[in-house]
Amino acid sequence: MFKIVISTKEGKSYQIEKDVPTFIGMKIGQKFDGSLIGLTGYTLKITGGSGIDGFPMRRDIPGTQRKKILTFGGVGYRPKKKNVRKRKSVRGNRISEDIVQVNVKIEEAKDGAKPIEELLGLKEEQGTQEKSEEEKTDKKDQEQKSE
C-alpha cells in the first residue's frame, strides 16, 4: 500500500492510498499513465518518495537500498551554514517494497479530462451544496425566532 501525494501546477496537493504493484521497479523521473491510480486522462511523473523508516529517496543514488552518503545539501539535508558537509542516510531512486510514500506531479492533462477533485471524489455535487446552504439559513431563521 502506497501513500501517493499528487501535486498540481496550481500548487495544490492531494494524498490518496492505493495498492499499486506496478510502481515497484519504477524510478524517479519516470512518467506513467494516471489510470494506474484512477486519474484517467492525466500523465504523471514520479518526483520522489520516502521509505518505511522515513529516509527520503534521492535521484542520484542508484538502486533500492538505503545508503550513507556524504552530502553538502539537497534532498535529505539542509545545512544551516554554507559548505558544511554531513553523512546522511538516503534511499536509492528505484521504488521497492520498502517505500511507503510516492510523490508525483501532473505533467499533462488530455483534452476533456475530468478535474482531479472529481476523479478522487473530493468535490461535492451542486445539489448537496445548495441543500446545505438552505439548511444553514433555516437554522438561523429558527434561532432568531426562538430568541
Residues 114-129 pLDDT 10s: 888 888 887 655 444 4
Which residues sit opposite 3 in a β-bridge?
17, 101
Residues 34-60 pLDDT 10s: 999 888 999 999 999 999 999 999 999
- The residue extents of the domains of the chain are 2-113, 114-147
Q: What are the grid coordinates assigned to 56, written together?
A: 527520503
CA-to-CA separations, 61 to 75, 84, 132, 138, in angstroms, rounded: 11, 20, 51, 60
Instruction: Report yes or no on whether pTM surpasses 0.95.
Output: no
Residues 84-104 pLDDT 10s: 999 999 999 999 999 999 999
